Amino acid sequence: MKVALITGITGQDGSYLAELLLEKGYMVHGIKRRASSFNTQRVDHLYEDQHEDNVRLKLHYGDLTDSTNLIRIIQETQPDEIYNLGAMSHVKVSFDSPEYVANVDGIGTLRILEAVRILGLEKKTRIYQASTSELYGGMPENKNEKGFYDENSPFYPRSPYGAAKIYGFWITKNYREAYNMFACNGILFNHESPRRGETFVTRKITRAVAKIALGLQKELYMGNLDAKRDWGHAKDYVKAMWLILQQDVAEDFVIATGVTTKVRDFIQMAFAHVGFNIRFEGEGVNEVGILNSVDQVIYEKATGLTINSLTLNAGDTLLKIDPIYFRPTEVDLLLGDPTKSKTKLGWEPEYDLQGLVEDMMVSDIQLSRREHFMV
């Protein structure tokens, strides 16, 4: 039985990856940070009675800032594969906590690599490092001839998060070359799901649209609507993580859909799921999203409510801009080239953007109904 260790197992990617590895027959160990409240809701459905025999998921208290703790956990678990998904991954927040981000996202990666080396597991343990499209910084001159970012595109991070992750990328590559370790970077473009944290833009949108449709919220406040992102589903992307560590040769891979979408268009798709047709007026901080009309059939099917319960009217403003959500340095466009991952890994995503939005909207409507209507 293969043994995997996942840092950040309680996050979006960690929970989907744990599901995938358990389905494949792995013994899965996960590292979670100690907190005064329960923070395991994304993996609670996988958790088994720890008193039973043949338990295949075990959680360990740990932190990427604590090297002795990491050495102990890796020594005890003797993993065949380590997936380093733990990070402070919110770009906007990284400007407020740059030192913490550097310690966790940058030096934390080094601690994992060095622990494997110190324990003499270089030949046994394969390491996946979660890199990010934020390494590119959206610089147009760094795209390839097709207009995409690929494995050979220069990096130009535009946030403390991106800068910390660039250290993680290069130290992983350095340990691969210096110690002949099977250590790989997955440069993942934006990937979302119903398990995405509520402060991330896609989840913020779907949560707000669900509440607006159910009459629980009046407006959605946003930042830069013109930012473009390459959005995929986290379920697809964790499959790519696993495939990267199954190769004969350790390499780095871009994981992306190759399709870019404006934040504004994602918002329209989310509202369309509940039958709301909205139009945008104005520019910059004065731009607003206004309700044009509501499709009764779609609305009632999506929300489980009757159209008579809807208190909104055509002409109501549903979206406003708040400058607080603008970043000090903005990344306007991220678009990845998945050619290498599709060719060498045989990776093909199952979800398109419409499927992703629908999955998130269905989940958030159900969540809001449970929270507020007890159904």
220-222 and 317-321 beta bridge pairing: parallel
For residues 47 and 40, the answer to whether their CB atoms sit within 8 Å is yes
Residue closest to 20 by CA, chosen among 353, 362, 350, 363: 350
- For residue 311, indicate whether it is catalytic: no
The single residue of 134, 192, 300, 358 carrying the catalytic annotation is 134
Q: Could you give the CA distance from residue 70 to residue 76 in angstroms, rounded to a whole number?
A: 10
Q: Could you give the CA distance from residue 108 to residue 65 in angstroms, rounded to a whole number?
A: 6
| Paired residues of 237 in beta bridges | none
For residues 149 and 136, the answer to whether their CB atoms sit within 8 Å is yes
Largest CA-CA distance found in the chain, in angstroms, rounded: 67
- From its phi and psi, is residue 89 left (phi > 0), alpha (psi between -120 and 50) or beta? alpha
User: What are the start-end ranges of the E strands in the chain?
Assistant: 3-7, 27-32, 57-61, 81-84, 126-132, 183-188, 191-192, 220-222, 228-229, 232-233, 253-255, 261-262, 276-281, 288-294, 317-321
Q: What radius of gyration, in Å, describes the C-alpha atoms of the chain?
A: 21
**Which stretch of DSSP H or E encloses residue 224?**
none
- For residue 206, indicate whether it is catalytic: no
**Taking the CB of residue 348, how many other CB atoms lie within 10 A of it?**
11
The single residue of 10, 109, 125, 132 carrying the catalytic annotation is 132
- For residue 16, indicate whether it is catalytic: no
Q: Could you give the CA distance from residue 327 to residue 324 in angstroms, rounded to a whole number?
A: 8
Report residue 81 as tokens.
Answer: 């594969």
Concatenating the DSSP letter of every residue in 117-184 gives HHTT-TTT-EEEEEEEGGGTTT-GGGS-TTS-B-TTSPP---SHHHHHHHHHHHHHHHHHHHH---EE
The single residue of 16, 26, 161, 237 carrying the catalytic annotation is 161
Q: Active-site positions? A: 132, 134, 161
